[in-house]
Structure 1
């Protein structure tokens, strides 16, 4: 298993020369099997989803997209990804809602957007988030602490390794379910949006500081921690400083757990 980091920014895209090295697209990770460069499983659908086409070499996407929650920075890429919005696409979209199509339509419909989800080309299924075998991987989801609606963390197991993806998480507000989800994983991709001096802001918005993330990774026995969901104002130079202390995700990297 390899993880293609298509978007590592949080809250809003960050364009401009100060954000070139680490990237400005919001949350999206493609899971690449060991024996193929073509992903069938994608975690989150932020603006980084636009980069999926480069991995598919022009072919339509046929697989599943698992969304952690419905905030804009995790779904805004859905109508802007040609391999998904394609007559030959086959997309199972899993959302943390008992009525996934209804919930997504609240985010994506006039007057907020020109089309509804039903206007996307291809064969789409809108499904509630679920545990089970998805695209050949053992997937476990659990509700974790983050403000503004239901948020799920995701554990993916396959190819002899386990990873956990928690891009929006406030472990300081309660972490029992999340710790079980991330227990003994080979790689933990975790929210690191705020610095320790920004704890009050992290608490107010339901996010993690770097110190919170490091402590959480130690509690759950993660073998490797990589911070993601970087603050939109966190420049390349600022992330370089942070990278001297802890590993940080970079758009365009392919991580091997």
Structure 2
């Protein structure tokens, strides 16, 4: 399984010369099982989904939650808004189409989700589902501001858990269960240890929270994403040097699990 990081920022995009090396787009990861030329699964649809290959996307887009930085790229991706696209949007919460449409409709936006070109269906997340090339399992995790799910992807004999917005320090037994036996955790690492109060206030994790969580789960490989939008390239370079045993997601990178 390969993970292609299309967007690695949290909260808001970070444009400008100070953010080009690590990338300024918000959360989006394309999942490519072995033997496939196009990803059948995309995790989140932040502005990074604009970087998805321009061919029509056919597959599942699983949203962790409905905060702007995880959905705002949907109508701006040529692969998604395409006459030949065929996609299932998996949305946390009951009545998922109604939830998504609250922010994805006039006066907030010119069209509703089903105004996207191509075939679009919207379903509710949770539980397990077996697709042709992967297994998807989701569970609600701790994060402020609405229902948020963690996502476990299994294919090619490995398992990855995607937790881009997660506050393990607030107690997260469902997330720990989701991570059991995983090969890699892709986790929220937006805040530094000295920013713990901010992390708690916004329902996010510090790097130390994420490291402790991975240790509790017995998962050796940890990759941090959802970088703070005000954290410049130079600052992220310095943070990464302080934590040599942790991988920091970089926009455009492909990670093999």
**Cα pair 1:202 1:209 within 8 Å, conserved:** yes
**Cα pair 1:27 1:46 within 8 Å, conserved:** yes
Distance 1:226 1:21 in 2: 17
4+ residue runs of structure 1 moved beyond 3 angstroms? none
Aligned counterpart, 2:213: 216
The 10-residue stretch of structure 1 (148-157 or 96-105) with the greater mean CA deviation from structure 2: 96-105
Distance 2:238 2:162 in 1: 24
| Structure 1 unaligned residues grouped into runs of 5+ | none
Indicate the SS of the match to 1:194.
Answer: coil
The 10-residue stretch of structure 1 (80-89 or 131-140) with the greater mean CA deviation from structure 2: 131-140
Aligned counterpart, 2:234: 237
Aligned counterpart, 2:150: 153
| Structure 2 unaligned residues grouped into runs of 5+ | none
Q: Per-residue CA shift, 1:74-120, capped at 9, x if unaligned?
A: 00011101111111110000000211111111011111111111211
Q: Is 1:94 the equivalent of 2:90?
A: yes
CA RMSD of aligned residues (A): 0.9
Alignment of 1:56-75 (within 5 A): 58-75=54-71
Distance 1:101 1:184 in 2: 33
**Cα pair 2:33 2:133 within 8 Å, conserved:** no
Aligned counterpart, 1:252: 252
Q: Give the drift of 1:135.
A: 4.5
Q: Per-residue CA shift, 1:13-41, capped at 9, x if unaligned?
A: 00011111110000000001111231010
Aligned counterpart, 1:128: 124
Q: Give the TM-score normalised by structure 1.
A: 0.96
Describe the shift of the 1:98–1:210 C-alpha distance in structure 2 as closer, same or farther (beyond 3 A).
Answer: same
Aligned counterpart, 1:25: 25
Distance 1:231 1:143 in 2: 23
Describe the shift of the 1:218–1:235 C-alpha distance in structure 2 as closer, same or farther (beyond 3 A).
Answer: same
**Cα pair 1:64 1:135 within 8 Å, conserved:** no
